A and B are shown apart, each in its own frame.
Chain A
């Protein structure tokens, strides 16, 4: 986890996701940030897909929460850091939730593991009954 310590935040933006129609504006905001740091098209798409995946997860399982969109820098690298914080039921078994094809809802079960594969850094903390926090970073040339 040493790499996380040298990260400097350049800009910060808080958005709430509490309804289906909040996901698209949130995704657009993420895209704006990605464009600002000149992220390539493929990485941009990966980032906004992960963002949309995690945002929808939060909406579905915790009926919404708060997101933090940051432009961060680490040495010569620029990136976008997204934090998803909810006060939902939490995840009882994290390793199970991170497995492909596992879902407590009726979805494909690719949200969490898929999002992890789409970003460069992925950190999830969850406490049953209290909520879940997911932090991801996508570097511009990562």
Chain B
């Protein structure tokens, strides 16, 4: 008896879906908190439907066949959503491996006598489903990476605020490592703000920078030079004792730049150069 595997699978579509869903629901790590049974059923039906209806005698051997584009699209969609929902790679992997299990179970039931055909069919299904699993993982990781990239962008955005501490004085607290990309953001924000507010003094506070190596120093020097070109003075504050010692040993020359230990002393210096005075007000009792 000749077997037509694609035809057979199409005929037994219902059974495959049932087998697969039973497999998924009996899985110990089923995440009922993240996904409902209806959703599982819907995703499974959609995928099996697309798979068996696109399968034929020719492309069963060819995993790169364009006929499977639809299947891969559905699969990518599922794994990206799962990545965002917080499924683990194992759980997402178990999803697609469950389909393989179901297909193989079905083949075993249907082709009992002909061991040779069963072996061949098993091999073909294995190959196909393995390549689908790889797609699943690739897109799963891509989904996670998107999350990370979005967070990175967000951190860069929020970590470089320009604060107007006084009329004509800007402060820019830098937190974290100052690399080339962040220096660019810092410089852009700062220079833009100088133009907008017409400030003449900018304070770069590096209290939150864990280490100042020659690259960071170079970036700082560049930022200071750019600020000066705009006609504003730049003060670097927040230099901790250990950072000061390290800078000296490293041989970085910051003598052309005004540096202060704390933001407070930088602010005081700014007031002085703007000829401003901060005084305690003497309370005089009103004479009746």
Would A42 and B242 be within 8 Å (CB), given that A110-B250, A117-B251 are in contact?
Answer: yes
The CA of A118 and the CA of B211, in the complex, are separated in Å by 13
A120 to chain B, nearest CB (A): 12
* Contact assessment for B250 and A53 in the assembled complex, using a CB-CB cutoff below 8 Å: yes
Would A45 and B243 be within 8 Å (CB), given that A53-B213, A107-B218 are in contact?
Answer: yes
* Contact assessment for A20 and B245 in the assembled complex, using a CB-CB cutoff below 8 Å: no
The CA of A46 and the CA of B243, in the complex, are separated in Å by 8
Q: Is the interface of A mostly helix, strand, loop or mixed?
A: helix
- Tell me the total A-B contact number using a CB cutoff of 8 A: 62
B168 to chain A, nearest CB (A): 32
Residue A56 at the chain B interface, CB threshold 8 Å = yes
* Contact assessment for A52 and B245 in the assembled complex, using a CB-CB cutoff below 8 Å: no
Residue A111 at the chain B interface, CB threshold 8 Å = yes
* Contact assessment for B179 and A118 in the assembled complex, using a CB-CB cutoff below 8 Å: no
Would A20 and B179 be within 8 Å (CB), given that A49-B213, A110-B251 are in contact?
Answer: yes
* Contact assessment for B246 and A56 in the assembled complex, using a CB-CB cutoff below 8 Å: no
The CA of A114 and the CA of B250, in the complex, are separated in Å by 4
Give every chain B residue within 8 A of A52 (Cβ-Cβ). 211, 213, 215
Give every chain B residue within 8 A of A13 (Cβ-Cβ). none
Residue A44 at the chain B interface, CB threshold 8 Å = yes
Would A108 and B217 be within 8 Å (CB), given that A24-B177, A27-B211, A114-B251 are in contact?
Answer: yes
Interface residues of B (CB under 8 A from A): 177, 179, 210-215, 217-218, 241-243, 245-246, 249-252
Interface residues of A (CB under 8 A from B): 20, 23-24, 27, 41-42, 44-46, 48-49, 52-53, 56, 100, 107-108, 110-111, 113-115, 117-118
Q: List 8 A-B contacts (CB under 8 A).
A: A44-B242, A45-B211, A46-B249, A49-B213, A52-B215, A100-B251, A108-B214, A113-B251
